[in-house]
Amino acid sequence: MEQPDHSFRAALRRGVGGRCPRCGKGALFAGFLAVAPRCTHCDLDFSFADSADGPAFFVMAFSGFVVVAAALAVEALYQPPYWLHALLWVPLMLATTLLPLRPAKGLLIAVQFHYKAAEGQPARGDGP
């Protein structure tokens, strides 16, 4: 019987691929960004998964750097008309934001699973 791989690297691979972070066989997503309620293979409950705005932040930071740097370089070198800027950068913005968004969300959910991250709870003995 094959032993399941619970390494950090395996969890990351599974998350980026949109697979269950525990078994790697079931689907993590029910839609483009909607997380499935549970794994169809190992029955892992995905209610722990709350990536919030993290994936969007990281993807926008990457996309903004790439698109702005490219637009500035093209403007400085060639000074094209504004309509050409729109023609060039709108598709690049869409590609650099929509394509990595789902893998980024899966990656953050896999990291949450690996480190057993959960909503903050007060420690026993804390409080008045």
Residue of 116, 109, 111 lying closest to 29 (CA atoms): 109
Residue 2 pLDDT level (bands cut at 50, 70, 90): low
Answer yes or no: is 75 within a domain: yes
Percent pLDDT > 90 in the chain is 80
Residue 17 lies in a domain: yes
| In-domain check, residue 79 | yes
Q: Is the pLDDT of residue 124 over 70?
A: no
Whether the predicted pLDDT of 50 surpasses 70: yes
Environment class of 29 (CB within 10 Å of its CB; exposed 0-12, middle 13-18, buried 19+) = middle
The domain containing residue 45 runs over which residues?
A: 8-114
Place 118 in a pLDDT band, splitting at 50, 70 and 90: confident
The pTM assigned to this predicted structure is: 0.86
